């Protein structure tokens, strides 16, 4: 499997080379899933194939709206200014005594 740019993936998935592009993308997804799930017992190869198939369906459904960037994860995110201070005790949010 050769490396492709975003534009090359889109062209291949929409064009005459779609079958090969789908095969390559499925292989890439399964390989990544296998690595990501390696420490989880009970995940069978068939599960990885199912996950990859679901991902392929979502990719194809959203291909026309792809903008080349990863979407933010769902849910609230915290900006760095909202992160606890390094002097803040992690357990209760109060300031820890200074050590001078």
Q: For residues 2-12, give the mean pLDDT.
A: 89
| Assigned domain for 19 exists | yes
Look at residue 18 in the predicted model and tell me its pLDDT.
93
2 or 37, greater pLDDT: 37
> For the whole prediction, is pTM greater than 0.85?
no
Look at the chain and report how many structural domains it folds into. 1
| Assigned domain for 44 exists | yes
| Assigned domain for 21 exists | yes
| Assigned domain for 93 exists | no
Look at residue 96 in the predicted model and tell me its pLDDT.
47
Residue 28, domain extent? 6-70
| Assigned domain for 94 exists | no
| Assigned domain for 11 exists | yes
What does the pLDDT look like over 14-44, one tens digit per residue?
Answer: 999 899 999 999 999 999 999 999 999 999 9
Tokens (6 digits) for 84: 């606890």
What's the CA gap between 37 and 29, in Å, rounded?
12
Look at residue 67 in the predicted model and tell me its pLDDT.
74
User: What percentage of the chain has pLDDT greater than the value 70?
Assistant: 67
Does residue 39 contact residue 47 with C-beta atoms inside 8 Å?
Answer: no
Q: For residues 50-59, give the mean pLDDT.
A: 94
| Assigned domain for 12 exists | yes
| Assigned domain for 23 exists | yes
Tokens (6 digits) for 43: 């995940």
H-state helical runs in the chain: 6-14, 18-36, 45-61
């Amino acid at each position: 499997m050769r490396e492709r740019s975003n534009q090359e993936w889109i062209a291949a998935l929409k064009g005459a080379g779609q079958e090969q592009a789908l095969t390559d993308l499925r292989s890439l997804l399964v390989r990544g899933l296998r690595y990501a799930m390696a420490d989880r017992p009970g995940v069978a190869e068939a599960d990885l194939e199912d996950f990859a198939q679901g991902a392929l369906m979502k990719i194809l459904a959203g291909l026309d709206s792809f903008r080349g960037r990863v979407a933010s994860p769902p849910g609230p995110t915290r900006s760095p200014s909202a992160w606890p201070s390094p002097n803040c005790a992690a357990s209760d949010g109060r300031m820890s005594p200074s050590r001078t």
